Homo-oligomer: A and B are copies of this chain.
């Protein structure tokens, strides 16, 4: 006789999860405004009414996705940069490597988060908390110790710019023919190798 509580099979996906997965996929591609709840329902293979049953509104559903995506994108930056036990070189290399890999697997991510940040009230609190975790004095000291005069902000901006911008501008470069779609992965993998050196050279 089994006394186990009834357990959902790990393979089974609940309706709620199906909706979230569909929402994640469509929201990240199209953004909030251009996404239709009917499309989410169809993608999830459920009745439209269920979306409102589970999440009450499109906005509510969106909030879940955008917060999740924000964490994915910016969650790592604070802990890495603020760790006093990691050298400057290691910080740059870790950030560039992690971001390149993350963005290769989620190409729409930076654009999605940045665009919704402009209009979305949900994330503001999250942004602030995240920024507080980023201990500027530690980075500043590491820069000063080495005799570098660049500001912390310019340092961060340069690392993030050079790593993230190719993904944001990909549609431009691909449609112009300057980078072929098939070459894009190689292009950013190659940059991943160079960016740490380039950034270090901006410090001198």
Contacts and interface: CB of A to CB of B under 8 A. Distances in A.
A176 to B, nearest CB: 4
Contacts of A178: 131, 134, 136, 153, 156
A177 B128 contact: yes
A183 B27 CA distance: 33
Contacts of A162: 157-158, 161-162
A154 B191 contact: yes
A201 B173 CA distance: 24
Contact of A117 (B172, B187, B197): B172
Nearest to A31: B33
A202 B111 CA distance: 26
A181 to B, nearest CB: 14
Interface of A: 30-34, 74, 111, 114-115, 117-119, 123-124, 127-128, 130-131, 134, 136, 150, 153-154, 156-158, 160-162, 164-166, 168-169, 171-173, 175-179, 187, 190-191, 194, 197-198, 201-202, 204
Sorted nearest first, the 7 A-B pairs with minimum C-beta distance are A131-B176, A161-B165, A33-B33, A201-B201, A33-B34, A198-B202, A161-B161
Given A30-B33, A128-B177, A154-B190, 13 more contacts: A31-B31, A31-B33, A111-B114, A124-B175, A127-B176, A134-B178, A136-B178, A150-B194, A153-B187, A158-B198, A160-B169, A161-B165, A198-B201
